[in-house]
Amino acid sequence: MLRKVLFIYNPSSGESPVTGRFDRIIELYQAHGLHMLFHRLAFDAGDEAVLAAVDGSFDHLLLAGGDGSINYAVNLIKGMGLNLPVAVLPAGTANDFATLLGMPTDIEEACRAILAGRIHAMDLGRANGRYFANVFSCGLFTDVSQKTPTAWKNNLGKIAYYINGIGDLPRFRKMELSITSDGGDFRGNAIIFFVFNGRTAGTLPLAYLSEGDDGLLDILVLKGDTPLDTLHTAIRYLPRLLHRRRYPEGIVHIRCSRLHAECDRDEHTDVDGQPGPSFPIDITCEHGALPVILPDRKR
């Protein structure tokens, strides 16, 4: 009896839609004795109805889309109590979560890595009940994925984020943050506030000391007492992205398993490229909450 795989995909994600690779994906899976069923994400109740039919006869769930699509699917999967392994094809613009998992950027190579891979339990963050696989954020540039038109992302790729983000600069003003956690506290002015489960945001390796399976989240706060201070911090920060050294003065780094955050205004938040919850915010690390298929590095 053939084992089944449910392939859940967003046809609008990425510069090269995954739909053009369907036949090759099916061929690779069939060669491994796996029968593939397809579901096109509709972002409505129909998605939940399809997942409700998933049972123990399925080998794993294959997700294809950008980080926002993966976030949406993961929240559905967790909300329905499914515990099947999840595999991720990097079919979006940034693909930060797929990068964390070590997936090849080529779709065909990613399929081969999944089919020869191993199951591993990865952590998830949870902000006011909403799961995130990669990062929670607020402040300057952090909701740029939400505001960048899909056509821009598909035609321009990652540069669309940077172009659209420039428009935020004249309007942005610093936040007054209060963060308490089991790893340390912060109170003061900030330009950007991240809580990472992963390492990258918009492909930039900002949380270069983070691990996705250690039961901890990495808080990063870019302090912003004056614009000049912020500029100096950013200049000191950039070289460290390449060398993975400790964070410079002006970047607050806290490792924790839970935190509470408040802000002096109703600042927009973002979870993996999707609209996030409103302040005040409670965030926890759900250790080992998502079984995923990783490439087998020994191969």
Domain 130-288 has CATH 2.60.200.40: yes
Task: Give the 3-state DSSP-derived string for the chain, with helices as H, strands as E and coil as C.
Answer: CCEEEEEEECCCCCCCCHHHHHHHHHHHHHHCCEEEEEEECCCCHHHHHHHHCCCCCEEEEEEEECHHHHHHHHHHHHHCCCCCCEEEEECCCCCHHHHHCCCCCCHHHHHHHHHCCEEEEEEEEEECCEEECCEEEEECCCCHHHHCCHHHHHHHCCHHHHHHHHCCCCCCCCEEEEEEECCCCEEEEEEEEEEECCCCECCECCCCCCCCCCCCEEEEEEECCCHHHHHHHHHHHHHHHHHCCCCCCCEEEEEECEEEEEECCCCCEEECCEECCCCCEEEEEEEEEEEEEECCCCC
pLDDT at 55: 93
pLDDT at 140: 75
pLDDT at 123: 98
pLDDT at 249: 76
Residue numbers in the chain where pLDDT is lower than 70? 1, 14, 16, 141-173, 225-245, 298-299
Numbered ranges of CATH 3.40.50.10330 in the chain:
3-124+290-294
Numbered ranges of CATH 2.60.200.40 in the chain:
130-288
Q: Which overall architecture, per CATH, does domain 3-124+290-294 show?
A: 3-Layer(aba) Sandwich (3.40)
